[in-house]
Amino acid sequence: MDKSLNTDRFTTLRLYLIRHGETEWALSGRHTGRTDVPLTPNGEDEARELGKHLRDIQFAQVLTSPLQRAQQTCALVGLNQAPEIEPDLIEWEYGDYEGKRSVDIRQERPDWTIFRDGCPHGEMPDQISARADRLFARLSKLDGNIALFSHGQIGGVLATRWIKLAVIEAQHFPLGTASVSIFSFDSHHPTVPVIALWNATPHSLNL
């Protein structure tokens, strides 16, 4: 039985997953795990624009990855709660593939996909799945709107684990920079987790 979510009670929990704004490494397609790169000026503008759509929402808690690109985005979005650092929101540990592009990795490993194969000397799918489940086990005890400032690959993993899919399915959940997604529960079946919104950018938002 999957115990990653506490669905034994009615909950008003609503998770807003926010990917950080643009960075130079995101622009070039380089895998950016623990390398602490800042936002570009455009990434800062993206975060400010996203904030216009989120600031009127009352958040019970704001959590952010410890990496500066997530913390910068959080600060520029400017929500009503002071953020707390949440280590489990940090990006996938890419190990030997840190800073490399998928196209370059596949020159040596043509069939490689991070969500199935993981990274040598980095995180493997079962490890990041356990990390996501651990985070949700804590969050499931909360109620209200919770903001999660995080990253692209771990964001896809969070989506799959929220709806109880295997990590490999995260390949179907790409995230753009400065995007917001919402995890909640079916209003007619309150124990069924759903993805209410996915990869919405400022120009498409109507929250």
**Residues labelled catalytic:** 20, 91
Provide the β-strand partners of residue 23.
Answer: 39
How would you write the chain as a 3-class SS string? CCCCCCCCCCCCCEEEEEECCCEHHHHHCECCCCCCCCECHHHHHHHHHHHHHHCCCCCCEEEECCCHHHHHHHHHHCCCCCCEECHHHCCCCCHHHCCCEHHHHHHHCCCCCHHHHCCCCCCCHHHHHHHHHHHHHHHCCCCCEEEEEECHHHHHHHHHHHCCCCHHHHHHCCCCCCCEEEEEECCCCCCCEEEEEEEECHHHCCC
